[in-house]
Chain A
Amino acid sequence: MTDLIRLTDLDLARDGRAVLSGASLALAPGERLAIVGANGAGKTTLLRAIVGLERAQAGEVALFGNPATREADFRAARPRIGFLFQDSDDQLFCPSVLEDVAFGPLNTGLGPGEANARAATTLDRLGIAHLAERFTHRLSGGEKRLVCLAGLLAMEPEVLLLDEPTNGVDAANGARLAAALAAYDGAMILVSHDDVFVAAFATRAMILAEGRLAPGEIHDHPHLHRHPHIHPA
């Protein structure tokens, strides 16, 4: 079976500084790969290089078995890859939630009626149908993240790239997000600092350091610990 995404010895420099140097990875169908690394290690750049928003100076990107070098190659593959940005405000640009979720399906050639129906179904599946008519820039951080995810899932992607999906998301919407990702049966690459989240979802982990990816190990063990928390009095 061909890999959905395969990066081979990617070199990518920005402003004269090497961000990736010899980064390689392969994502097989159904895999959920977590990528961890320090701030500024190049995790976001790696995701951007996969969808061709940033081009590597050397190395190969292959998407769904086809080498991708030109904008046209990436463009053909993008509808099959859903990229959840770190900052939801960078992703939401339509006035209403329904329009934003319908944007992707419209790009893939669906008519307005079908696109809206697809958007409504997706919102409903994520448990946020009540947001459909709201203005995107007035949503809470957690709501924005869910709407972004709905916008990606409406395109029925085969791979999800998630960049810090739990950042700035409250508990209730975090549970919706986790449920939606658990129900998603495609492959995903997950960049996160949230260890609990990574341990719950990832089937494999890699560590990005000094521009290279090395295999990591996810382990879960009990700790005797204490921490403060707050409940209603």
Chain B
Amino acid sequence: MILPGDLRLRLAAAFVAVALWSQLAGLAPALLAVLLALALFALARQPLPWRRLLHLEAFLLLLFVTLPFTIEGHPVLSLGPLDASAEGFARAFVLAAKVTASVLLIALLIGGREPLHLGRALAGLGLPEPLVRLFIATARYIGVIGAEARRLRDAMRARGFRPRSNLHTWRSYGYLVGMLLVRALDRADRVEDAMRLRGFTGRYPRAPLPAPVPADWVGAALITGAAALTLIWDKL
């Protein structure tokens, strides 16, 4: 098992590897990054996150629609007054490969982890306490707010609301979002009151996490090392 068990090292390795890969410029190194990420999935015997990838690739299609027409270069395709450049297509391919590799790596290393554990690991890496608390509270309450939104939408439907493209629809959706924000703020105040009543003073008393075992360091070093080698090949 090459993946580090310690979540702090996973986060650090993912961050460093993605930062390195973001600097790739050549198509071959970017494709190698994708291959590396896929190899990690195979080594870890994890199923590929198809749903996540599908959402991502649909978004990346935008690159292929826009970049060829906005980057200057040798025209390979003409649509009326617009010319698509070979350089634009190449750039789109590199970007798509880099983003896919990064998302695969992040999904493998930290996807599916409990937000609470992620928060603890982030605090262990020295992330400021308020940011950690924001992260944990958001993960905790997003479902509550989502459920509130669903119930309000049900109530709107029960009163004969049907979305159309008119002012009434946009105003109603605006009110819906506004009301959710107001409620979320109120709820945040109540949650804070409840926390203060139980002795909260602004710092979360967290037990220090156990030190990573040597195998975790090796795993993290292998992942970041492989990412560094990809970048070195790219820059040679």
Q: Produce 1/0 per residue, A141-184, CB < 8 A to B.
A: 00000000001100100000000000000000000000000000
Given contacts A90-B151, A90-B155, contact A99 B162 (CB under 8 A): no
Q: A153 → chain B, closest Cβ, in Å? A: 11
Of B152, B160, B175, B179, the contact of A107 (CB 8 Å cutoff): B160
Say yes or no: B148 contacts A107, CB within 8 Å. no
Binds B, one of A21-29, A75-83, A224-232: A75-83
CA distance A90 to B161 in the complex (A): 15
B152 touching A155, Cβ below 8 Å:
no
Interface residues of B in 142-196 (CB under 8 A from A): 148, 151-152, 154-162, 168, 172, 175-176, 178-179, 182-183, 186
For this complex, into which size category does the number of interface residues on chain B fall?
A: 20 to 34
The answer, among B168, B176, B178, for a CB contact under 8 Å with A106, is B168
B159-A104 in contact (CB<8A): yes
Q: Which of B161, B178, B186 touches A103 (beta carbons < 8 Å)?
A: B161
The answer to whether B159 touches A90 (Cβ under 8 A) is: no
Q: Which label, helix, strand, loop or mixed, suits the secondary structure of the B interface?
A: helix
User: Which residues of chain B from 29 to 73 have a CB within 8 Å of any chain A CB?
Assistant: none
**Residue contact A78 to B179, C-beta cutoff 8 Å:** no
A94 in contact with B175 (CB, 8 Å): yes
Q: Compute how far the CA of A108 lies from the CA of B168 in the bound complex, rounded to whole angstroms.
A: 11
Contact of A75 with B160 in the complex, beta carbons under 8 Å: yes
Task: Give the top 8 A-B pairs by smallest Cβ distance, nearest first.
Answer: A107-B160, A90-B151, A79-B160, A104-B159, A93-B179, A91-B155, A83-B158, A94-B175
Interchain residue pairs with CB less than 8 A apart (8):
A51-B158, A53-B157, A78-B159, A83-B158, A93-B175, A104-B160, A107-B160, A107-B168
Q: Given A137-B182, A137-B183, 11 more contacts at CB 8 Å?
A: A78-B157, A78-B158, A85-B151, A89-B183, A93-B152, A93-B155, A103-B156, A103-B172, A107-B159, A107-B168, A151-B159
